[in-house]
Structure 1
Amino acid sequence: MQPFVYNALPARVIFGRGTLSQVGPEIQGLGCNKALVLTTPGQTKEGEALKTDLGVLAVGLYSNATMHTPTNVTEEALLVAQRLGADCVVALGGGSTIGLGKAIALRTDLPQIVIPTSYAGSEATTIIGQTENGLKTTQKTMKVLPEVIIYDVDLTLTLPTQMTITSGINAMAHAVEALYSKDSNPITDMLAEQGITRIANALPILFKDPGNNEARSDALFGAWVCASCLGTVSIALHHKLCHTLGGTFNLPHSETHTVLLPHTIAYNTPFATVAMTKAAHSLGAPSAAQGVFDLAKNLGAPYSLKQLGMKEEDLARAADIAMENPYPNPAPLEREKLLSLLKDAYEGKRPA
């Protein structure tokens, strides 16, 4: 056994069905009684219902959480929280809502209770990405780690099929990067392999039967496991490119992860053969890059940046931005090779 360093993150995780009913007791368990509920505009109805259920424990609802966590939206939400005297936030939703809760916590240290309704995984990490003036930047800090995560499988039963697939592959990206991270270790490797396997097995079932409870449970558990891996190691090229395309070119988050993951795996595989062999085995495929590409395409997910609205003439600029302040990565970062990666992703080519 080689020497390693593993930093476990403190977290209270409640997993099951019908666990939404435990939000109130968890607010009180944090010593709070003035929760601000957060959602996106599309989940306002669910936020209102949760606020009603919480009764006097909720002081309001802010329902304008936005993709890529724009700082102007965070500032608006902060004003609402201050005006209402909120002493904690309850984020109900996917990555956009969870990101807003983390951004508020970064500025105020308000405790967070997070109720994920997708497989985004942000709830289990100390990473926050924020967009300002068309540029998305990230940082890692314990200030944004939620105090409580409540996973309710029932809340994922109505997740649209395509969002299920792209959100699931987004979650897998967390585990893939953990496997080849400079901080990889036997514990996160074991969790990453299990997370990839759970999601890879669940997605084809959910494509045919979106209401399958067992597959929904496996996918949600897998998403937590994958995110837990990423929460303890460093992110690399894949996330750098996704943050670039999302923050600067406003591409949708999970779909961008889905399109790019096969190509970032292919870029890194020659320099991370052991890690990507583990990923391929977890996928049940000869090649990790091709396994992810085939999974996405066969399940009807987008597989090219062109499908997401990316403009070919912007690829060079994206490569330039990705070369700035690069994250640690197994393969050396070379602009022309990155541009080639982006062109392949733009065209939707199956990795060689």
Structure 2
Amino acid sequence: MALNFEHVTLGQRVRFGAGQAAENLAAEVDRLNANNVMVIAGERTLDLARQVAADIEVAVWHSDVVMHVPGETAEKARAVAAEYDVDLLVSVGGGSTTGLAKAVALTTGISIVAVPTTYAGSEATDVWGLTEAGRKTTGVDARVLPETVIYDSELMLSLPVEMSVASGLNGMAHCIDSLWAPKANPINAALAAEGIRALSNGLPKIVADPRDVDGRDEALYGAYLSAVSFASASSGLHHKICHVLGGTFDLPHAQTHATVLPYVLAFNAPYASEAETRAAAAFGADTALEGLQRLRGQVDAPQKLSDYGFTAEGVPHAVEIILEKVPANNPRKVTAENLTALLTAALNGDDPATIH
């Protein structure tokens, strides 16, 4: 079959090495000639952030980090950056921390060096998200793509296994959604498939031995690939659903993605044969859903949205908002009826194979 596609590769430096975060951060601060560094890290990550920043001078520490980046939280961080004449943002943490740094960069153009402590993947995308009045808005802007990402699997050793699983499956969602997203092409599909393989190998190793740096390395590598594929392919149906559940209903980001993923896969896969075949091969399974469910069983994945505060009463409102955001090229037509069935199944933890 003749190939005909357009692909954009984002320009970003990656420094990857266990136990090398502080050294690599110091090298980047020096390379970028930064004089007034603002370190963004949530309260629970501050001690870790101080270790990472041990070899640099920090002009200001900022720890007011809130999930889904509320607008007022972003404005506070922007004001701090202006007050200290900040010329480099260093984010140490998960997706919420990276997201806050992006919110500052969006309006100021200040460069970011991202040091992830989860497998969220936000650090490798030019996608930003802000929540205002119960609605999460996302966009794409070159200014929010971190200049450099510093990966250090030793920073992941303190991440609880349960959160590691949810975060890793969030990365898996980037991979799978990329296979049928609006800008899907053979290059980001190849990255997504390798991400699926790496994450499905790495996550069970973390569950078996949370101190296994090799497993953490493999999952972190997979998470990076997942984010690069997602940045290129854009947001598919899965992410549109989860952004609404998070922004409107304040559901936890990683757990929501981990829970919803098998239902979207079961919903779309029969209508996307090429994506299904590629994902199944990456899992080493007969079908993509079989491979994902096998992995979810190995790692004791989140099972139902009701565990995180979502209720049946919220389904109609969620459906109304999601229908406004469904990508035009989704492989299956999305209706109020079948979307209601999908969300209800995810709410109750029903067998995804029953999705029709």
Interval of TM-score (by shorter of Structure 1 and Structure 2): over 0.9
Quick check: 1:88 aligned with 2:93? no
Match of 1:77 in 2: 77
Tell me the residue number matched to 2:338. Answer: 337
Give 1:270's aligned residue: 270
2:161 is matched with 161
Q: Which runs of 5+ in 2 are unaligned?
A: none
Q: Which runs of 4+ in 1 moved over 6 A?
A: none
Code of the residue aligned with 2:20 in structure 1: it is: T
SS in 2 for 1:6: coil
- CA–CA distance in structure 1, aligned partners of residues 217 and 124 of structure 2: 17
Deviation at 1:13, TM superposition (A): 0.6
C-alpha distance in 1 between matches for 2:64 and 2:291: 36
Conserved? CA contact 1:182–1:330, under 8 Å: no
Write out per-residue CA displacement over residues 142-171 of structure 1, whole angstroms, 9 at most, x where no aligned residue. Answer: 111111111111111221101111111100
Structure 1 residue 190, shift from structure 2 partner:
1.4
Q: Which residue number in structure 2 is paired with residue 40 of structure 1?
A: 42
Q: Once the two structures are superposed, what CA deviation does each residue of 1:282-337 show, in whole Å capped at 9, x if it has no partner?
A: 12233323432342244222110111111111111111110123334221221111
Partner of 2:304: 304
Looking at structure 2, the residues matched to 242 and 281 of structure 1 have their Cα atoms a distance apart, in angstroms, of 26
Q: How does 1:1-352 map to 2 (within 5 A)?
A: 1-20=2-21, 21-55=23-57, 58-328=58-328, 329-352=330-353
TM-score by length of 1: 0.96
CA distance in 2, matches of 1:286, 1:349: 21
Distance 1:251 1:225 in 2: 25
Q: 1:265 to 1:347 in 2, by over 3 A?
A: same
* 1:44-87 per-position Cα deviation (integer Å, ceiling 9, x unaligned): 222334444313xx101101211111111111111111111211
CA distance in 1, matches of 2:293, 2:128: 27
Write the letter of the residue equivalent to 1:315: V
Provide the secondary structure at the position in 2 that maps to 1:91: strand
For the 8 Å contact 2:37–2:88, the answer to whether it is kept is yes
**Which amino acid in structure 2 is aligned with residue 144 of structure 1?**
V
The letter of the residue matching 1:107 is T
| CA distance in structure 2 between the aligned counterparts of 1:284 and 1:346, rounded to whole angstroms | 28
Deviations 1:96-118 (A, max 9, x none): 10000111000100010000111
Could you report, residue by residue, the CA deviation over 1:247-299 in whole angstroms, capped at 9, with x for unpaired residues? 00000001000000001111111221110121122122333234323422442
Question: C-alpha distance in 1, partners of 2:217/2:101?
Answer: 24
C-alpha distance in 2 between matches for 1:23 and 1:298: 35
Question: Once superposed, what is the RMSD of the aligned Cα atoms?
Answer: 1.4
1:124 touches 1:227 (CA, 8 Å); kept in 2? Answer: yes
Separation (CA, whole Å) in 2 of partners of 1:86 and 1:234: 30
**Which range is displaced more, 140-149 or 24-33?**
24-33
Query: What is the identity, as a one-letter code, of the residue corresponding to 1:81?
Result: A
Instruction: Specify the SS of the correspondent of 2:128.
Output: strand
Structure 1 gap segments, 5+ residues each: none
In structure 1, distance between residues paired with 2:13 and 2:127: 17
Amino acid at match of 2:60: G
- Secondary structure of the corresponding residue to residue 313 of structure 2: helix
